[in-house]
Structure formats: structure tokens, C-alpha cells
Structure 1
Amino acid sequence: MLERRQIQRVVEMALDEDAPSGDLTSEAFIPESASATADLVAREPGVMAGGEVFEVAMTAYDPSVEVELLIADGDRFEARDVLARVSGPARAVLRCERIALNLVQRMSAIATQTAAYVAAVEGTSARVVDTRKTTPGLRALERHAVRCGGGHNHRFSLSDAVMAKDNHVALLPDLTEAIRRARATLPHTTHIEVEVDRLDQIEPVLAGGVDTILLDNFSLADLRTGVEQVGDRAVVEASGGVTLDTIGDIARTGVDVISVGALTHSVRALDLGLDVKVS
């Protein structure tokens, strides 16, 4: 659940960055008494994410600005659809326009991309999840956008679950014993996941007692072998270089989870515009 305080923190930071001591252009050109209305218009199809974020951003400088959301997060839209309407003091609308657009464009892009990945695994039991490859400071917003697109979230932070990746494993002389020691010291509710990059690492990891095993950059043949080898002893996750062209084949190997960094780390902002007019 995306909390309003998380949104407000991001918006305050963005507005302070974009207009630290005012909007010189609007203050020079636009009368203080002027009012404006504006439509948030889609220039291309997509999936909506960030409606509340857009609202908080547009009202951040002047709470008298009114925002009407015309589409819910997770809904699909077409080019030329109006997604929201804004009205209020013109200076306030112009001051917040860019940060509001930046956030909703990025979030909707993530939701749209996620929806495409989810559609590509339809008919399988694989769950599409994100990673920690998010924009610093925007993780809560970007994770929400993944959910809007029908995806799921991996651990939110390093504090949420144990996930021993390749650089951890490289420092452990006895992987099985290291997992057992970790299990003995951690609370019983803590989830343990370990990443492997070879088939011969699977049994030592399972012997330590993991909850999830991550098969990283495995070939399709090795993924099928790994899934069969693990059986029902752990959740099987696949990761590494996953694309829209490959995720369907990966899902059909029988893995339970597919983590995709591309959901957040390389999206192109969706083309949405704020068309302003005098009211």
C-alpha cells in the first residue's frame, strides 16, 4: 500500500528542487489573480499509475488547486484520453506542472511495461516481480506502479528479508553451513533466499534449508533441470537478463517467480501532457 506520507515526502523534495525560491517565469508573466484549468491528456496508450501522486503534486504549493481524477490506477487508457482535470490559481498550476507530470509519466510507464510482461506469462503459474533496481528516493512510488501493472513486489529493502547474492556467496567457504548458521540466528519468520549460478550449487543450498532459491542467468535447459531438481523443497525464482522476448519461455520452464529489473530501471517516460487554458 502506497502511503500518502511517502508521496508527500517525494513531492516536497521534488518541488524544493524545481522551485526552491519561486517560479520566476510565472511570477513575471502571469497575473496573481489569474485562474487556469488543465487536462492531463494521454498522447499514447498505457496503464495508469500515480493518480494520487499527481493530485498531491498539483496541490503541493497551493491547496486551493482542485484535481479531479477521471481514471483509476491500474486502468488502461488510449491516446487522447483525458486522465485528470485540474483547476485553480494559474501560478500554482504552472509551478507544480512539471513535477506532477514527471512522476505520473514515470509511474504510468512502469505500470504499462509491467502489464506487458505479465501478459507474456499468461497461462503459466509464474509470478512477475520487480527488483531493487529503482530510482533512489522513488522506490515506494515505482513499486506501487508495478502493482498497478499487475506485477508483484520483491523485498522492499535490505531490511525485509535475507537474500544472499553472488557476492555474498563468493565470500562463504561452506555455503550449507553458512545458511544453517544464519537460520539459527534469525527470527523464525525471516525468509531466506540464496542465489546460485550453477546447477551444482543447488543441493548445498537446499541442504542449508532455504525458502527460495534464485537461479541466476540459467539457460532454459538448466532452468528446467533446476526446477525438477528443487521440486517442492523451495520456491524457485529465475532472474538475469529477462526481456519481453524471453520471459514467456522462462515461465514455461516451471519456475515460480521471475524477477525483472527492466520493470523499473530502464523504462521510457510515458507521453502524457498537461494542456492548460485560461478559465
Structure 2
Amino acid sequence: MTALRPELPALMAEEHVRAALLEDLGRAGDITTCATIAPDRTATAEMNARENGVVAGMELARTAFRLIDPAIRFEALVADGDRVHPGTVLARISGPARGLLSAERVALNFLMHLCGIATYTSKFASEIAHTRAKVCCTRKTIPGLRALEKYAVRLGGGSNHRYGLDDAILIKDNHIAVSGGVASAVNAARAYCGHLVKIEVEVDGLGQMREALTASPDVILLDNMGPDLLRQAVAVNAAHWQLSGDAYASDPRRTKLEASGNVNLQTIRAIAETGVDYISTSKITMAAPTLDIGLDVVIG
């Protein structure tokens, strides 16, 4: 079944865009535009892609122009999730020239950043499309932009890890060190949380993994393991649940395995081919280059 495209609620877009516009307008507004453009001038501009990419953030761009001046008309010619090529016109914007020019930078900043994340994520997803593994983002995001960046990841074909500290339990090495052990930490987490909260625990070796399996967490995070060790971990998991072949892949009861550490475009294929279910990386949010997008006035 093909998943529906994610959507960004307009209210969420407005919150972020309003803050960005206020930051840009500063204490006196756009003094360059006010000094050079008469109040009654109108203009039409086109927003163009200058390289191949995946679109993300059109609602943010639309909102930037609307908040600056509701008289500006924003005609989107593509939708979030579409793939574009150099020269593709993303949107046509027309109306009061002052507002158009004042909102331009904020609109492009959001669009270039989110398109960059969606595009970079799509490259990771493409590398592992022949496997069942999914590439996931992490909590390593630009402060304040997490929801937007995770939205862009999904548009690029990736999956979201937890959004914050409150929507899932992830027991990491420091939690284990303080709490006294892998299994005890998982058991304590299960006693604490509600039945809808997933529990994941990080391990750094097969010994810890075997201990974790005795407590039946939902997911085991295999930290900084190379492909050979990851294959062994998959075999240990299969043996624990007495599953093999297609039964292992499809059984909903078994513990899911997530690989993390040293994940990039050169390594992700080999990691996915070990049989893990998820591959988490901060690269798709923290190292994604922006997509080159321009806005040019075509009618003054």
C-alpha cells in the first residue's frame, strides 16, 4: 500500500514564518524596498528550481507572502513531494511589489532548506530501496525547526524517529550506566510508561543485545556496528524468536533492529543489506545542502 504524502498544517507554517519575518524586518522594516519602490508599484515574479530536487515547504513560502501583504497572489505550480529539475517553475507570485520583495528572503530560506533535506533524504532512501530497511532522522535538528525538518524527511522518502523526549523511550548508554544494566533499564521503563509508548534500548555488542532480548524491548539500537556484526545481530534476533526467512521479516512480535553510527551515502547500502529494519542518521537533517532556488521578477 502506497503511503499518503504528509501534510503541513497551515497553522504550524504560520507560527514559524511569522517569527522569521519579524526577525528579518527588525526595528524599521525593509528600508531598502521602502526607499526604492513606490507604494503603488506591482510586480510578478517566478520562483525557479536551479537543480534537481524534491519539493518541501511550499506552504511556508506561500505564508511568507500572505503575512507580508494579503493582496499578494501566490500560485503554486508544484506540490510538496514533487520532483523538479533545473528550470522548473515552482510558483508565480504577483501583487504589490514592496511586499513581494520584503517576503522573498524568508520564503526562499524555508523552501531551500526544506527542499534540501527532502532531496538529500531521497538519495539515502534510493540507496536502500531494494531492502526492507527505512532511513530515519534523529533529534539532531536545528532548534525550533524540528517539526519542519522531520516533515521534509518524510517527503524525501525517509521515516521519522521520535520527535522529542516525550513520545518514545530510548534508553542509551548513559541511562544504562546509571540505572545498572540493559534488562533492568528496559523493565523499569516498561513499568513506568503507558501501553502506547514504544521502548528502544541501545547496545554496543552482542552480549548486551542478548541481555536486552530477555526484556523484550520494541526496538534494539545497534550502535556503531559494522556490517559483519550487524548480520550477526540479525541472526541472534532471529534465533531468539525462532524465525527465519520471510517469517522473520513479517512477524510483528519480534524485536525490531535499528542500526546507527557511521551512516552516509557510501555506507548505508551495506548496512541495509544486513537485514536491519531501520537505519538512523543525523546526516539527512544536519548535513543536507540547501537546494538552489531563485526568485526573479519577470514583470515589473
- 2: CA distance, partners of 1:139 / 1:182: 25
- Flag structure 1 segments of 5+ consecutive residues without an equivalent: none
Cα deviation code 1:210-244 (max 9, x no counterpart) = 00000011011100001111125300000112011
What letter is aligned with 2:21? L
Matching of residue 2 in structure 1 with residue 8 in structure 2: yes
- Three-state SS of the structure 2 residue aligned to 1:189 is coil
- 2: CA distance, partners of 1:255 / 1:210: 15
Q: Counterpart of 2:137?
A: 130
Cα deviation code 1:166-198 (max 9, x no counterpart) = 221222223212211221221111100011111
Matching of residue 242 in structure 1 with residue 242 in structure 2: no
- Three-state SS of the structure 1 residue aligned to 2:179 is coil
- 1: CA distance, partners of 2:140 / 2:62: 26
- Three-state SS of the structure 2 residue aligned to 1:171 is helix
What letter is aligned with 1:276? V
- 1: CA distance, partners of 2:141 / 2:65: 24
Q: Which runs of 4+ in 1 moved over 4 A?
A: none
Contact 2:171 2:186 in 1 (8 A): no
Q: Counterpart of 1:155?
A: 162
Q: Counterpart of 2:75?
A: 68
Contact 2:125 2:135 in 1 (8 A): yes
How far is 1:57 from its partner? 1.4
- Three-state SS of the structure 1 residue aligned to 2:64 is helix
- TM-score, with normalisation over the residues of structure 2? 0.90
- 2: CA distance, partners of 1:16 / 1:41: 25
Matching of residue 17 in structure 1 with residue 23 in structure 2: yes
- 1: CA distance, partners of 2:171 / 2:78: 41
Matching of residue 143 in structure 1 with residue 147 in structure 2: no
What is the aligned-residue RMSD (CA, Å)?
1.2
Residue 122 of structure 2 is aligned with which of 77, 99, 115?
Answer: 115
- Flag structure 2 segments of 5+ consecutive residues without an equivalent: 1-6, 242-253
- 2: CA distance, partners of 1:177 / 1:78: 52
Instruction: Count residues in correspondence.
Output: 279
Contact 1:134 1:265 in 2 (8 A): yes
How far is 1:199 from its partner? 1.6
- TM-score, with normalisation over the residues of structure 1? 0.97
Residue 80 of structure 1 is aligned with which of 87, 94, 103?
Answer: 87
